[in-house]
Structure 1
């Protein structure tokens, strides 16, 4: 498996374990929190378990969204069962050569309490266009593997981002967002650089992220290399 995608799956697993909504079944892992669409996700899917997915989804045992590493055989099997592709993001990795340095920004704060979790959830919801609840974010404050950040612009909290350290010591950048009306001021770039600085200071050999089609060229300029695609399907 592509390291960046393996890292992403571990991040999702950790979210679910901290929040109490991770389930491991034979041939598939699942996040299925109650009363929320994020981070509802099926991943770690094995080919011979695709046929049973529809029944488990119909009986509300699993979420509707399936994330898979780009794989023609697996994707054809999903499509044959009536699943359709909804998105494709680039799995990207930077090798830490210790030659890149980024400044910390004083307007970016680490989330340490319930107020910060509430602000993070509000910013992320407005940035990504779907509801993210404070109850999903709050448990992450107590995780030793996760660091959450929110950024100010003048008097408003407008940007967010997460750094996650996986089981082999690699760091990943997640949930980098800026409220729509504050885009174009370089705030997302500042958040990305702050998260990168955090990873670099912790001597992460590789740093991972998943990027949209629009975001991939920006991350490439920062030193990230495209490794493959993470695709989402639904039914």
Structure 2
């Protein structure tokens, strides 16, 4: 696995583990980690699978309802585990493009003055973020889980954006142990799409990363988001693939 791919998947897995630890939801097994919150689809994952031997146990636990039916790998590991994944009953469900930007070479531009950005500091802010994120991605996000992340700005920063006083977009930064920044949950409510809010939120988050002295920043882009992040200077590295159990 190349170093840039390690940056991308390392930030994602560490981010999930941090959220799980803060919320008291993390399951740590010898060969994998998992989070299975009640009433929330985020972060509902099995991840950081260390070897193919673990796939049989994961499959059994999923069928028993003890693990979430979503297992995420970076592309290199997914390729290496391919035959064993298929044999254990796993098929690709969702693919995102892992991307990276070198902030010293690609400093962010100016932010839109039409959006008011707010660093979440209260439980009410956390629930506003959760509402925006849930509406943007069409899955359940528990504001109580988000609230457990606040006040830890050396590790995680949660932002909302409003337009004319109305909640409109969301974004989150996670600083991993390697010193890299990862952008997560960049979302825009449907009624505000097409106005450049995703690019504006991304730019605001990148400015924060620069102010905090980070050099590398990574994210995981959908097909819709790929052109936005490419214009901002992110470069594609490797895909991140989530598998579902089909047997």
Sort the TM-score into its range (normalised by shorter chain).
over 0.9
* Alpha-carbon distance change, 101 to 89 in structure 1, aligned in 2, over 3 angstroms: closer
Structure 2 equivalent of residue 128 of structure 1: 137
Structure 2 equivalent of residue 219 of structure 1: 229
Separation in structure 2 between the aligned mates of residue 226 and residue 207 of structure 1, nearest angstrom: 12
Deviation at 1:13, TM superposition (A): 0.7
Which deviations, in whole Å up to 9, do the C-alpha atoms of 1:137-165 show, x marking residues without a partner?
11011323111111011121110000111
Verify the 8 A CA contact 1:66 1:233 in the aligned structure 2. yes
Instruction: Tell me the secondary structure at the aligned position of residue 63 of structure 1.
Output: coil
1:52-91 aligned at under 5 Å gives the runs 52-70=57-75, 71-91=78-98
Separation in structure 2 between the aligned mates of residue 170 and residue 197 of structure 1, nearest angstrom: 14
Separation in structure 2 between the aligned mates of residue 132 and residue 155 of structure 1, nearest angstrom: 22
Residue ranges of structure 1 left out of the alignment (5+ in a row): none
1:142-153 aligned at under 5 Å gives the runs 142-143=151-152, 144-153=154-163
Separation in structure 2 between the aligned mates of residue 49 and residue 229 of structure 1, nearest angstrom: 22
* Alpha-carbon distance change, 80 to 150 in structure 1, aligned in 2, over 3 angstroms: same
Deviation at 1:41, TM superposition (A): 0.2
| Aligned alpha-carbon RMSD (Å) | 1.5
Verify the 8 A CA contact 2:92 2:241 in the aligned structure 1. yes
Structure 2 equivalent of residue 36 of structure 1: 40
Separation in structure 2 between the aligned mates of residue 49 and residue 99 of structure 1, nearest angstrom: 40
Separation in structure 2 between the aligned mates of residue 27 and residue 150 of structure 1, nearest angstrom: 36
Which deviations, in whole Å up to 9, do the C-alpha atoms of 1:117-144 show, x marking residues without a partner?
1110110110000111111211011323
TM-score (norm 2): 0.90
Count of residues in correspondence between the two structures: 235
Matched, 1:192 2:197: no
Deviation at 1:103, TM superposition (A): 2.9
* Alpha-carbon distance change, 60 to 142 in structure 1, aligned in 2, over 3 angstroms: farther
Structure 1 equivalent of residue 121 of structure 2: 112
Deviation at 1:85, TM superposition (A): 1.1
State which drifts further: 197-206 or 216-225.
Answer: 216-225
Deviation at 1:59, TM superposition (A): 2.5
Residue ranges of structure 2 left out of the alignment (5+ in a row): none
Which deviations, in whole Å up to 9, do the C-alpha atoms of 1:149-203 show, x marking residues without a partner?
1101112111000011111211111100000111011111110100010001111
Instruction: Tell me the secondary structure at the aligned position of residue 38 of structure 2.
Output: coil
Verify the 8 A CA contact 1:102 1:196 in the aligned structure 2. no
Structure 1 equivalent of residue 23 of structure 2: 19
Verify the 8 A CA contact 2:136 2:188 in the aligned structure 1. yes
TM-score (norm 1): 0.95
1:155-194 aligned at under 5 Å gives the runs 155-194=165-204
Aligned counterpart for 1:6 among listed residues 3, 6, 10: 10
